[in-house]
Amino acid sequence: MYKWIAEHHQVLSVCASFGSLIIWLVYAQLLYLGFRRQRSPRLIINRGRNKDINALCLISNMSAESVFIEYIIAELETSEGEITMDVTDFEREYSEGDEDDGQPPLDVRENTRQGPIESGGFLHIGTFCELIQRLARDENIKVTDGIPQGELEFTRLTLSLIGIYGPENMPIGAERSFDLTVSGNRLGLKPASWDTKQLASIRQRRKLRKRVERLNATDFSSSSSFRHMARKADG
């Protein structure tokens, strides 16, 4: 045995070196995957408390670090086109005699959903019914319990998030769609996919950055800055 090892020690040495290289490559790959998993942002959009449009719209941060939510965009698909709106800020109602003194509110969370979500934290942006009614109201569409009156039909609601993850400069995003179906006098809500789509690739982040630039450059003096109805062409 010793004689055989002595005769083939060079071959055995090459095999041992090759085996060690493979082990180190596998170990390095595992370390890289673990590091990548820790650094990858992950936002979850889901429904809570109910299964229909009266469910709360929940946004959870499953990333290793905080995520600053910058924009929340809602898109309502109808039988006549799409309604898109920035729903980051709450709707504000002013009573007669109210004045804007230019001072920020004591609790910013009372006026906007923009802000950081800690790792493992979540927030809700109201019910899906409230979101649908807000989009419909902006287009003067009359709805009852989320169901439009007349021949118009609501088919899908898509929510998109744009935020900043940790110290990174490029924005990240997430989106999820929910199918809307009428059953009797109720509007059903069903996720179109089992998970939230993460927008974290280099290409997707570049598109998100351009979108943020367009949103930031929009004329805020116009009430339709982030709201529009893109109607389908007849025929």
> Nearest-CA neighbor of 198 among 66, 75, 63, 23?
63
Q: What is the largest CA-CA distance in the chain?
A: 102
DSSP 150: T
With tokens 């009428």, the residue in question is 182
What is the per-residue pLDDT for 97?
46
What is the per-residue pLDDT for 174?
95
What is the per-residue pLDDT for 35?
60
pLDDT digits (tens, 9 = 90+) for 193-229: 999 999 988 899 999 999 888 888 765 444 343 344 5
For residue 86 the two structure tokens come to 């920035």
Task: Answer positive or negative: Cα dihedral of 101, 104, 107, 113.
Answer: positive
What would the mean pLDDT of 48-61 be, rounded to a whole number? 90
Residues near 109 by Cβ (< 8 Å), separated by ≥ 6?
115
What would the mean pLDDT of 64-92 be, rounded to a whole number? 89
pLDDT digits (tens, 9 = 90+) for 114-169: 889 999 999 989 999 999 999 998 888 888 878 888 888 899 999 999 999 977 78
Burial class of 88 by CB neighbour count within 10 A (0 to 12, 13 to 18, 19+):
buried
Helix (H, G, I), strand (E, B) or coil at 17: helix
